[in-house]
Structure 1
Amino acid sequence: MDYHKTGIPGGSNYKVVTREYLFNKMQQQELHTFDEKVDYLANYLLTSDNFNEEQLKVLKHKISHFKSDLKKKWLKANRILDKFITANATWLQGTFEIPIVPLPQKRAGRPSKPFDELSDRNKRKKTSDLRSTVSQGVLVHAAKTSLETSGHRHASRLLSEVMKSPKRAEKYKQAYSKCLQASDTQLSPFKALSMFVEADLSRKQYEIVRNSNKKYYPCYSLIQKEKIKCYPPKSSITVTETAAEVNLQDLLNHTVTRLLTYLKENLSNLTEEQLGSLELIYKWGCDGSQQSQFKQKMQNEDSTDSNIFQSCLVPLQLKCGNKIVWQNPTPSSPRYCRPIRIRFAKETADLTNEEIEYISSKIDLLENRQFINDDGLSANVKHTYFDINNGRC
């Protein structure tokens, strides 16, 4: 044991340290509560040297008094470190006596090395008697307790976990190996885009994150390319001065394609029969809103951009019979809203009825088709729609 102060012996069989040294030793430990730190200090003093029974009895008595005084003073200071040190400066300079363990007599020959510096062969040789006379359970418990008292709480808990069953250690090893392999490979643009969207990052924020590990995070240009894949094909989009519309068949085909790409691991567990009978359920509707009118003039003087009327759909669920393959986690979130048509027009009852008839006619012309994802997995998807304006399928 290394002592902060050994100047004034309390007797020929004792060494002396200051209470301040013991308090600082306790505070240096990364433990959550004050009681845990006090218990650590007690275990540290009792296990640091090979005390005999009489010395242990004396030391335990001293530690008990020290713990009692320390807790009273700590509570009196309202658990505030600066207040505690100021109010108890004199008490902290007081001394604490620790029994001296007689040093073994030196023997002739080569000095023995510390256990940590021995080779694996010599370590096995030195612990052979211990392993042959003490059961595995006792050795594991002793190792856990030693790690706990020395401040290695995570290592102690990990040892407890891996010893719960014979296969647990193998699973931990495999998980750790996968973690090491994953850290060496770059995050795919698809997963990086997912992180980018989920965290609602700006380009500058992403660049700051990427600078921490450029080998792991792909450059922003790859994320931009991946984002383009999320849009329907340009050929399916029609834009005029007062309206923008995407072909409904192309929009649904694109939605299914993206879902099959995202769910490729789940789909690999389905049979061919199940893949041939997938059903994607949507809800769709239309609504209007007002906005500030811009000063930019339109070619048609009667047109205005002060009102917007929009029809859109939201995918709700992909299922196979009674088995749900994918469920929309936030069906009311704009994140999953897919616009069909947007117009500069004021919402009226006639306009709403007109839009419902228009979208319904588009739905009647839709065709189910076969889809193939990036892994070559083929699936047939049926589309089912729910009109939220009229409450009908």
Structure 2
Amino acid sequence: MEIVSQATFEFRHSDLFDIWLSNNRKISSVLDSIYVKISHYHVEDDKKLEINKKTSNFESFIKKRLPKCNYMVERFKSKHTEWMSSSISVTINENCNTQQKPGRRTLSYGNAGPRLKRKLASELANEKEHNTTLLMHAAAVSAKKDCNTNVASALKEMITTPAQYPTELRKQDQIQKPTPLTPNEALAYILENSLTKQQYVNTRILNINHHSDIYPSYNQVIEAKMQCRPKGIEVTETTAQVSLQNLLNHSAERIIQMQKDVFKQSLDSSVVKLICSYGFDGSTGQSAYKQKFEVKTHDVQVSDQSLFVTSVIPIKMIDSFQRNIWVNRTPQSILFCRPLKIEFIKETSEHIRMEKNQLDNQIELRSLNKEMGIVRIGTLEWNPQGRRKVGRPKANLAPIYHTP
């Protein structure tokens, strides 16, 4: 016994338009959405042609009128509200038997497994007499219709140069791609080689022209450089200085950021201690320029012939179990010297003692910082002997940092 059934499906243009937009404007996605809803019915070939024609008209309407709206979706929807409210109607006549036909249902290529896919591809190749060029050309046309331009261009190139193109692809895979520099690495490269801004920009442009874009933009380098600068820097006509607390905070934060991998391996410790040393140094005989400073120090006219520097050097960072998180292997290197104060003044024993007393006052006043949890432990010893080593501490300043 046979039962004749009829089903009518309505597909609103607005819904199909949203599907078309969300799937990279591919008409194949619209067809798939229609066939999914009518998958329970047997669709004859003539009905498939009708559905394909309606969807083709749907796509032609959009491609013809969307450019006139400057590719603005909202303007297109508001201008063609009547068309958006209409729909595509699909009516299917189905002769259903009361008894279901035995056997497996037919699967499409997309829903098939690897074995069935090989079988379907083999049947298609046998049908086209294993004409490789024809099958590749058909695949390129299908990829272009599906808006897959990368696959289409690759297939087209393989058709035109079948012997050279695969070899070129293998060569490109074997070539190791250059690794881009991080902004911090680029900043280190500029400082170590004393490059100017224009020299760095010219080097970057040269690499880009040779398809090796490894250098970040100079703006990114400037941002990385600003992150290396502590907060609260005060600059006057003769002095540039920063508070000891800000310098220690910034130094510890940068070391913690640099040693993230080490902290991941030391999850059992939540407190780290940064050990630093401080000292003084002076330089005379600098070039004197014909300029007069308005500021006087101890009723003495300031001159740029002498320079005096107070600096802090991080020695190492340890955790609560006395394990090394970070160690300064070259503590005498200028790369690890953290200037605390730079001023135009001659180095004298009196000025060294005065600067040391001011620094000790900062240590005593800022021995407890509630915001960062920094605590000073131990004492500082000062060795006043020697000339160039004057002010070098024997013991270390050890602030404690509580890590989250």
> Which interval holds the TM-score relative to the shorter structure?
0.3 to 0.5
> How does the TM-score come out when normalised to structure 2?
0.45
> How does the TM-score come out when normalised to structure 1?
0.46
Indicate the structure (1 or 2) with the bigger Cα radius of gyration: 2
